[in-house]
Structure 1
Amino acid sequence: MTIPLVAGATLRLLELPARADAAPSPLIRAYTAVRNASLAEETGRTDDAVTAETMLPLLYSDADVARTQWYIERGGEVIGCVPLNVYQDDDAATAMGTIALLRKHWGQGIGTAALSHVEHFARDKGLRKLLCWNEHHEQGAVGTVPSPTGFGTVPNDHTARFLQRHGFTLEQIERASTLVWDPTTRRRLQDLHADAVAHATDYRIVQWMLPTPEEFIDGYAWLKSRMSTDVPDAELGMPIETWDADRVRRHDARYAGKGETVQVTAAEHIATGELCAFNELVIDQHPTSKTDQRDTLVLSGHRGHRLGMLLKTAGLLSWREQHPDSPHVMTYNAEENRPMLSINEAIGFAPIAYEGAWKKVLR
């Protein structure tokens, strides 16, 4: 399928090999290279770059997300990536996507034409809402865009103006923060952990590496399901996710397919045996890569016992023993999530960037 856009550009459906474990085709390698380059242009960082071998398994649909990818071609070269991921929860009415176009091709109507096709495709599929997350910067900004939550603003840069021009509204701001390991980090974590232990006497830490052990799989599934209901969502209206043991196994297999290592640190309520809080740390196969802190949640009925601090410090201390060459840890939090931000700040995380979470309701 080839769709003419403007300025000599075309939009083409990305064809995938029959198997996710196949060798990446030259087209997949070009798509990955443009994805990495566009992300580096947006963020100024390269630590989220992936290889084509890692990217390929991420492109396939599964029972939880239906994935479609197009690429933008001009003059025989790939110049943009257009992924659209449709969440299968909540009647498959919500999708997340982006137009990742190399900067030298901006301002010629290519992104606008590609977005028009994506919206037409989404409406035909019965989608009612498009979501996207973009990092924003001062360069080229004209003022700021305030968050409707009342917490923070983002620069009204080229991307923000593009999204607003095409009917997207800013719903939430996420803070990107990093913890850089230095000679003081371990002692600070140990002190904070000891204090948290003293306040969480009704709980104990349990920890595992994916794949999830059978004894924890149901509790982990419940905690993962609460990530879609118990974290600040502003007016994004993220789909409520249903998790069971099979979905956890698919989740674990997806990480394994990417060659990533995942540590889960959870809090177990001693009296009931309930898993009531968890934290995830992730690294790829390269020992000097950054670490990603992914989901962290304390169930509402167990808050007020410093479980967030307990989990994060326990996880980071054990993680450092296993991955001493990972230089820093990166995490994202809603700017209105003051309890979690306070924990991160005490640990030593510092903000490095801000993302806007944008939504468009399809009519």
Structure 2
Amino acid sequence: MTTATPDIRPLTIPSSLEAPEAADFLEMVRVRNIVYDEISGNRDEELEPAVLLPHYQPSPFEQRLIWGVWTGGEFVGRAGLDLPHDGDAMVAYAQIELRRHAWGHGVGTAALGILEAAARAHGRRIIESWIEHPTADGEQVTPPTGFGHIPLDHAARFVLRHGYALEQVERKSVLDVSATSMGFVEDLHRRALDAADGYDVVSWHPPTPPEFVADYAWMKSRMSVDAPSAGMEIAEESWDAARILEHDTHWIDGGRDVLVVAARERQSGRLVAFTELASSPGHPVTHQEDTLVLREHRGHRLGMLIKTAALLRWRELSPHTQRVLTYNAEENRPMLAVNEAIGFDPVAYVGAWKKDLALFQSAR
């Protein structure tokens, strides 16, 4: 591994994968997938360039900055900064993903300096990042919530050294679909139906049907404030029909198979809970994206209702799925209890890290 000064420069985002300027983007995705393979020891987090490209197109709802990282002429990783336009817009979300052989040579430190400078230039006071930490023996780091812990590994030592604090731990769980009895899931679903008297299940594929857009947008807005966030600063997101359209378009343009399952209260006719499943056609891994039960409708087993309904429907739509991935805050015991009852097993943990740039700057 060369110790030459890393070459970190903004990545050109092509309009299409066939565009002449698409080469660096395609290489970025290839290296991104290798990085996740090195972290997890499997290919579950791999995504195709077509899936990622729509998320890097210009958006009125956030600005997404991305840099490629080269050392000795080799593309070794990427650095990204997401700048949401919601709320008071004081938070930036950062990520640094490097090949393992690039560690320990100052590459990550150089990339982080660029991200923090960009966050300050855009008027952001807080920078936050979510980092996967595979389980390991030895010294552990526990967040202020007291729920969960992560190993004091290379990534943890890196962010701690640069002034970041662990605020929350999320559990990464996997359901082995091939070893899960659908009869068992059906039984869980029947029991949830009995407990959820007064609610029905509805589902759709993007684009969202017009009659569901307003309720779906409201639930997506609530997702940012109702889900446990510990000490992380999460701006309340504002969702409307235009944002739902962009959200759906990303999935459609990325060629993903997507199912949204929701619970509808009979009395009001409003949607009050939802979950999303998404995968690439033929891919063995499905990602459970957002899942939420509105706070005022909790206690009716709606989480179990929509999750089992989604799994049962997904088995028909995507019979090649072997595993389902999901993420939940360790303090979110109600949703973890649902996952555990279905058969999800923990496989890794994600640290939610935060740095107050204003405090750090004043301390200097």
TM-score bracket, normalised by the shorter chain, equals over 0.9
1:334 correspondence with 2:329: yes
1:32 aligns with 29
Give the 3 Å change call, closer, same or farther, for CA 283–184 of structure 1 in structure 2. closer
Matches within 5 A, 1:136-151: 136-138=133-135, 143-151=139-147
Separation in structure 1 between the aligned mates of residue 144 and residue 58 of structure 2, nearest angstrom: 33
1:84 correspondence with 2:81: yes
Per the TM alignment, residue 176 of structure 1 is displaced from its structure 2 partner at its CA by 0.6
The amino acid of 1:164's aligned partner reads L
2:72 aligns with 75
Separation in structure 1 between the aligned mates of residue 206 and residue 112 of structure 2, nearest angstrom: 37
Q: Any idea what SS the aligned residue of 1:121 has?
A: helix
1:310 correspondence with 2:305: yes
Give the 3 Å change call, closer, same or farther, for CA 71–306 of structure 1 in structure 2. same
8 Å CA contact retained: 2:189, 2:308: yes
> Which of 315, 321, 327 is residue 320 of structure 1 equivalent to?
315
Q: Any idea what SS the aligned residue of 1:346 has?
A: helix
1:3 aligns with none
Deviation >3 Å, runs of 4+? 20-24
The amino acid of 1:335's aligned partner reads E
RMSD between aligned residues: 1.7
Q: Any idea what SS the aligned residue of 1:150 has?
A: coil
1:113 aligns with 110
Q: Any idea what SS the aligned residue of 1:79 has?
A: strand
Separation in structure 2 between the aligned mates of residue 261 and residue 184 of structure 1, nearest angstrom: 21
TM-score (norm 1): 0.94
Give the 3 Å change call, closer, same or farther, for CA 293–81 of structure 1 in structure 2. same
Give the 3 Å change call, closer, same or farther, for CA 118–288 of structure 1 in structure 2. closer
1:36-79, Cα deviation, whole Å (9 max, x unpaired): 11121122221221233333222223112201111111222211
1:300 aligns with 295
8 Å CA contact retained: 1:293, 1:329: yes
Q: Any idea what SS the aligned residue of 1:210 has?
A: coil
> Which of 349, 352, 356 is residue 357 of structure 1 equivalent to?
352
2:361 aligns with none
Separation in structure 2 between the aligned mates of residue 22 and residue 264 of structure 1, nearest angstrom: 31
Q: Any idea what SS the aligned residue of 2:306 has?
A: helix
1:264 aligns with 260
The amino acid of 2:275's aligned partner reads N
Matches within 5 A, 1:230-245: 230-245=226-241
8 Å CA contact retained: 1:138, 1:157: no
2:6 aligns with 9
Unaligned runs of 5+ in 2: 359-364
Aligned residues: 356
Separation in structure 1 between the aligned mates of residue 160 and residue 284 of structure 2, nearest angstrom: 35
1:200 correspondence with 2:219: no
Give the 3 Å change call, closer, same or farther, for CA 177–183 of structure 1 in structure 2. closer
2:154 aligns with 158
Q: Any idea what SS the aligned residue of 1:249 has?
A: helix
Q: Any idea what SS the aligned residue of 2:45 has?
A: coil
Separation in structure 1 between the aligned mates of residue 179 and residue 83 of structure 2, nearest angstrom: 44
Give the 3 Å change call, closer, same or farther, for CA 326–238 of structure 1 in structure 2. same
8 Å CA contact retained: 1:174, 1:333: yes
8 Å CA contact retained: 1:20, 1:60: no
TM-score (norm 2): 0.94
> Which of 107, 124, 148 is residue 121 of structure 2 equivalent to?
124
2:48 aligns with 51
1:170 aligns with 166
Unaligned runs of 5+ in 1: 1-5
Which is further off, 86-95 or 194-203?
86-95
1:134 aligns with 131
8 Å CA contact retained: 2:51, 2:256: no
Per the TM alignment, residue 99 of structure 1 is displaced from its structure 2 partner at its CA by 1.5
Q: Any idea what SS the aligned residue of 2:224 has?
A: coil
The amino acid of 1:103's aligned partner reads R
Give the 3 Å change call, closer, same or farther, for CA 288–51 of structure 1 in structure 2. closer
Separation in structure 1 between the aligned mates of residue 53 and residue 31 of structure 2, nearest angstrom: 14
Per the TM alignment, residue 21 of structure 1 is displaced from its structure 2 partner at its CA by 5.9
> Which of 218, 221, 227 is residue 225 of structure 1 equivalent to?
221
Q: Any idea what SS the aligned residue of 1:84 has?
A: strand
Give the 3 Å change call, closer, same or farther, for CA 85–183 of structure 1 in structure 2. closer
Per the TM alignment, residue 183 of structure 1 is displaced from its structure 2 partner at its CA by 5.6
> Which of 203, 210, 217 is residue 206 of structure 2 equivalent to?
210
Separation in structure 1 between the aligned mates of residue 321 and residue 245 of structure 2, nearest angstrom: 27
Q: Any idea what SS the aligned residue of 2:124 has?
A: coil
Give the 3 Å change call, closer, same or farther, for CA 149–43 of structure 1 in structure 2. same
8 Å CA contact retained: 2:90, 2:125: yes
Per the TM alignment, residue 325 of structure 1 is displaced from its structure 2 partner at its CA by 0.8
2:362 aligns with none
Per the TM alignment, residue 20 of structure 1 is displaced from its structure 2 partner at its CA by 4.2
Per the TM alignment, residue 172 of structure 1 is displaced from its structure 2 partner at its CA by 0.5
